[in-house]
Structure formats: structure tokens, C-alpha cells
Amino acid sequence: MGRILVVDDELPVQRLLADMLEADGHEVRVAADGAGALTTIAVWHPDAVVLDLDLGGEPGGLEVCRWIRLDPERARLGILVLTGRIDEATEIGLFDAGADDYMRKQRFEAPVLCKRLRGLLRRLRAQPSTPRTLAWGPLTLIPERVEAELNGRAIALTHTQLRMLELLVERRGGIVLRRKLFELCAPDCDPTSSRAVDVQINQIRKKFGSDRGLIRAAYGTGYRLVSKETAASEDARETPSTPAFETT
């Protein structure tokens, strides 16, 4: 089904993952550290990486993620991270470094991991060979290349972040339901308890810089992407006017 690189410095976990993925039909290679991962990626060109966040030595898991995303030639390489800890700061760090998905290392189950990896590969392969361009105001997306520009400036996005923006652009200012966005970034999590959508949207807003206000929350419903003119108009309506005082 795919060429998968497993990167883990614990030999029992490494063997378990390799056996599990081979049984699911994948061709698998393994690396025990970040340096081995970089070498194997450069030589073997896998379709996806199952990566332990807490690798010993340098480079660590986050550094491997960032290295993968530095080169446009590796834009279609999927990254599924296994981590022993997950809190909001860790989740933000993972997505910001370029991870597509993550699972708790001590709790993952074979069917779930295989399902999520197959879904990631399916999304990557569904991208057509002739890239299409989507534009909305100052934002331009080329989904198949995982490329985006805002006001002519390139911005780095993960696959998930770009897919979320793609949905927002396609709605042309309309609301994309929170449930629909959630399916992209955390398909196997409980939508009532996870902040995965908010984490991803906040990361996109940070990358938008001074144009962060183009992504608007429809509270209790979802999000929408608006033009600069609409954002300015809505901000003006929300800003309370300063009362005038007569002078004597």
C-alpha cells in the first residue's frame, strides 16, 4: 500500500510497529534515531513516516519534522507522530513543526493506527498531477503542492492546515461547520472534548500575521474566511463608539 519509515529508539516498539504495518500491506523500513531517519528519507523516499517525538539524541522528533518540511520536494511526505505526552503546548508544537497527525504512544491500537495512516496516504494520493489554484482575496492556495501565499508572501502550512483553508476558501465567505473541520484534523478523537480545531486555526492565524482577522469564528457553529473589507467592516461595527462630550 505504501512505503513507510518507522522511527523509534525503543527496539520493541520499533519491531511492533514494523510488524503491524507490514501485516497491513506496507513496505517498511526502520530507523533508531533522527540521523538515521534523515538519511533513509533522503535515499529511500518513503510515502509517510511514523515518528517517535521523544527520540534520544539529535535531531529529535520535532527537528526531523521541521527538516522534512523545509524542502518542497518532501511536501507530499506524510508525518504521523507518536508521543508519550500530549497537552496543548505539545499539540501546538507538533502541528507547527509540520506533523499531519499524532497518536498517544502508550495507548495506540493497531487497527486505529493503520486506519489513520491509510487515511493520510489516501489524502496525499488523491491530489491530482495538474495542480489547481484557489484564491480568495489576498490568499492563494495550491493544494497539490502544499503551497500557500498571502499578499504574495509564501506561508508554511501543514497538510491539515492547508486542507482546512481549502474548505474555507471554497465556501467563499460562508461558514464551514466545526464538525467538518474536526474530521480533517482529529478524525478519531471525541469532538466534544478535543480542541484540535481551535489549535489548528490559531496556528493558521499566527502565520497570517497582521491578516489573522480574516479567519472569523461563527461561535458555536464553525469558522469562515472573509475579505479584508468585510473584516474591517465587522471590526468597525464591534468597536464601541466613544461618546462625545460638550465643553463649556
Same domain, 12 and 102: yes
Same domain, 8 and 120: yes
Q: Which domain holds residue 13?
A: 3-125
For residues 96 and 79, give the distance between their C-alpha atoms in angstroms, rounded to a whole number: 12
Asked if the structure places residue 243 within a domain, the reply is: no
Please report the pLDDT score of residue 198 as a whole number. Answer: 87
Same domain, 49 and 85: yes
The total number of structural domains that make up the chain: 2
The enclosing domain of 157 has a CATH number of 1.10.10.10
* Residue ranges of the chain with per-residue pLDDT less than 50: 188, 242, 244-248
Is the CB of residue 164 less than 8 Å from the CB of residue 178? no
> Please, which residues bridge with residue 217 across strands?
223
Asked if the structure places residue 7 within a domain, the reply is: yes
Last residue of a domain, one of 125, 156, 186: 125
The enclosing domain of 79 has a CATH number of 3.40.50.2300
Please report the pLDDT score of residue 246 as a whole number. Answer: 44
For residues 174 and 177, give the distance between their C-alpha atoms in angstroms, rounded to a whole number: 10
Please report the pLDDT score of residue 244 as a whole number. Answer: 46
- Report strand pairing: 176-177 vs 153-154: unpaired
Same domain, 44 and 113: yes
- Read off the pTM: 0.59
Please report the pLDDT score of residue 188 as a whole number. Answer: 47
Peptide bond into 128 cis (omega under 30): no
Please report the pLDDT score of residue 49 as a whole number. Answer: 97
